[in-house]
């Protein structure tokens, strides 16, 4: 059984985690497949948007604990060093965070621990109405290790992030939408169709515009407003020299749909 199912639409791709018997826990194999696939899709000029989802019961419950326990039994890493499985997971999240193509998390069921960290690395998130979401590491004597302490805080603010991590509470989709953790909640039997429509809308826009917007927001989040405005000015000037900009202006003038090429 394929651990990662790839469904390609005209301009967007849906990646479905497919380890249902393990609630889509992330082992070496699945992490490597995600890294290879996302890298390849990011280099494909015909791909304008990527969605990551799971099955109805679970988006992902994070790192496969059984695989980590096997590492400990084999003595394959020291406790004072970064364990190889978590390193591979962090590399995946860094890749997702840095790719130029917009990437959306589509949460159904559990998004817990590293599963929520995977969703937080994406550009934004939608949730089905059966979702249960949280960072529960404190309940097992650990802390989030895939960027959860940093990305959750940046997503919902320090106070709410600390409350969720200190308590280990799982919140439902309605609560997640209320605090801004997910953009919108949909019925579970509708969510994939809804997100397909949103991804299709994104995919019709200019690839350079999507890439430059993502770059401006991602970098701007970590610098001063003045530096962020300077960055935006540089990117705005650069994109006006592109063929896609000329095509967009011409299409608007001619009242036709633009044919963007990404250059």
Annotated active-site positions, please? Answer: 117, 137
CA neighbor of 50 nearest in space, from 189, 155, 202, 176: 202
192 and 217 Cβ atoms separated by less than 8 Å: no
Residue that the structure tokens 């890294």 belong to: 35
160 and 179 Cβ atoms separated by less than 8 Å: yes
128 and 185 Cβ atoms separated by less than 8 Å: yes
17 and 52 Cβ atoms separated by less than 8 Å: yes
* Bridging pattern class, strands 103-107 and 12-17: unpaired
203 and 12 Cβ atoms separated by less than 8 Å: yes
154 and 245 Cβ atoms separated by less than 8 Å: no
* Coil vs helix vs strand at 255: coil
How many other C-beta atoms can be found within 10 angstroms of the C-beta atom of residue 3? 18
Task: Give 102's contacts (C-beta < 8 A, 6+ positions apart).
Answer: 48, 49, 50, 123, 202, 210, 214
* Coil vs helix vs strand at 94: helix
């Amino acid at each position: 059984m394929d651990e990662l199912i790839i469904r390609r639409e005209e301009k967007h791709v849906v990646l479905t985690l497919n380890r249902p018997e393990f609630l889509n826990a992330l082992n070496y194999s699945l992490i490597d497949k995600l890294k290879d696939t996302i890298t390849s899709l990011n280099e494909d000029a015909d791909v304008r948007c990527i969605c990551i989802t799971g099955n109805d019961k679970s988006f992902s419950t994070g790192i496969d604990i059984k695989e980590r326990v096997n590492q400990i039994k084999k003595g394959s890493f020291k406790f004072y060093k970064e364990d190889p499985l978590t390193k591979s997971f962090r590399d995946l999240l860094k890749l997702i965070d840095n790719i130029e193509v917009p990437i959306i998390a589509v949460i159904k069921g559990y998004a817990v621990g590293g599963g929520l960290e995977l969703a937080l690395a994406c550009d934004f998130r939608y949730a089905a109405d059966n979702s249960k979401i949280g960072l529960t590491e404190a309940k097992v004597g650990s802390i989030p290790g895939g960027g959860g302490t940093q990305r959750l805080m940046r997503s919902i603010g320090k106070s709410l992030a600390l409350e969720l991590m200190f308590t280990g509470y799982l919140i439902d989709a309605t609560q997640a939408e209320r605090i801004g953790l997910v953009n919108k909640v949909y019925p579970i039997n509708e969510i994939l169709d809804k997100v397909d429509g949103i991804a299709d809308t994104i995919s019709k826009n200019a690839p350079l515009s999507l890439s430059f917007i993502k770059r401006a927001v991602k970098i701007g989040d970590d610098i001063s407003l003045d530096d962020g405005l300077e960055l935006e000015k540089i990117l705005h000037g650069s994109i006006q020299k592109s063929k896609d900009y000329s095509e967009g202006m011409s299409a608007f003038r001619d009242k036709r749909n633009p044919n963007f090429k990404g250059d």
